[in-house]
């Protein structure tokens, strides 16, 4: 291998090591900031607490506009039981299931 080959191997090693080290540093930064409460906008992300959950709900209107709603659940029930009625099949028994629209937007044609 010549000088060009050894320089290429050195550069690839440096890039790979930097990518791995950078991933760990950024992950540690996100973990620290979320524990200290500085990542308030990540309340519904994978970094959040167990209770905060959310999902997107879409609807296409008669005019063809796409309406999107982000439905948030602040406290997820932990204990569920079969319902006597046909719908819904499962109902929470430890606390009521309270949801709210956290965010919404419309995309028009």
Q: Over the stretch 38-47, which tens digit does the pLDDT of each residue have?
A: 766 665 565 5
CA distances from 82 to 87, 94, 107 (A): 10, 13, 38
pTM of the complete model: 0.48
> What residue has token string 């629209």?
101
Q: What is the C-alpha separation between 55 and 86, in angstroms, rounded?
A: 24
pLDDT confidence of residue 85: 87
Summary mean pLDDT of the chain: 85
């Amino acid at each position: 291998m010549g000088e060009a080959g050894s320089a290429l191997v050195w550069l690839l090693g440096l890039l790979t090591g930097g990518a791995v080290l950078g991933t760990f540093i950024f992950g540690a930064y996100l973990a620290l900031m979320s524990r200290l409460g500085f990542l308030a906008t990540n309340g519904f992300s994978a970094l959040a607490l167990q209770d905060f959950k959310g999902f997107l709900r879409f609807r296409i209107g008669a005019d063809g506009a796409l309406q999107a709603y982000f439905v948030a659940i602040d406290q997820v029930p932990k204990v569920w039981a079969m319902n006597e009625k046909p719908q819904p099949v499962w109902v929470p028994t430890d606390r009521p299931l309270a949801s709210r629209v956290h965010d919404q937007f419309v995309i028009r044609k």
